[in-house]
Amino acid sequence: MTGQTIILYGPQARSEARRLIDLAPPRAIVNIRPEKRTLAQNDKLWAMLSDVSRAKPDGRMHTPEVWKALFMSACGHAVQFETGLDGAPFPVGFRSSRLSKSQMIDLIDFIGSYGAAHGVEWSEPAKEEAHA
C-alpha cells in the first residue's frame, strides 16, 4: 500500500478513507488536517499587506513582510524577531503557507478590520474569493 490522499468532500470519500484505514498495515500513519489556504487567499493577503504598507498607519513604516509578521502575531501565530547585521529587527519563523483555509480567513479579516480602522484604501475591492 502506498501513500494516498483523500479529500473528504462527501460520504463516498469518507467511506473510501475508512476502507483504506481498515486495510492499512500495523503502525501505518494517518494524517488528517484541515484544508490549506488557497492561492486566491494568498494573493489577497499580499495585496492587503502592500496597501497597509503604503498607507503607513499611525506613521508606521514597515515592509509588507514585517506587516505580515505583525498581523500574524496579533492573530496568535508564533512569530520571532531577530536582530539583523545592521542592528535592525527583522521577522523570522512565520509562514502563512502553513495556515489552514480558516486561519487565513481570520488573518485576512483581521487585516481588513485594522485597515478600516486606520483609513487604509484597498487597491482591490473586497472579494469573497478569500473566503472560498
| Distance between CA atoms of residues 78 and 72, nearest Å | 8
- Residue 20: what residue type? L
Residue linked to cell 500574524: 72
What integer pLDDT is reported at residue 47 of this predicted model? Answer: 95
Angle of the 64-74 helix axis to the 101-117 helix axis, nearest 10:
110
| Distance between CA atoms of residues 96 and 72, nearest Å | 8
| Distance between CA atoms of residues 40 and 75, nearest Å | 20
Cell, residue 47: 495585496
What integer pLDDT is reported at residue 88 of this predicted model? Answer: 81
Identify the CA nearest to 107 among candidates 60, 57, 38.
38
Domains of the chain in sequence order: 1-32 (no CATH), 39-131 (1.10.3790.10)
What integer pLDDT is reported at residue 131 of this predicted model? Answer: 56
Please give the chain's pLDDT, 132 residues, in tens: 567 888 888 999 999 999 999 999 999 999 888 888 899 999 999 999 999 999 999 999 999 988 998 899 899 887 777 888 888 877 776 778 888 999 999 999 999 999 999 999 999 866 555 555
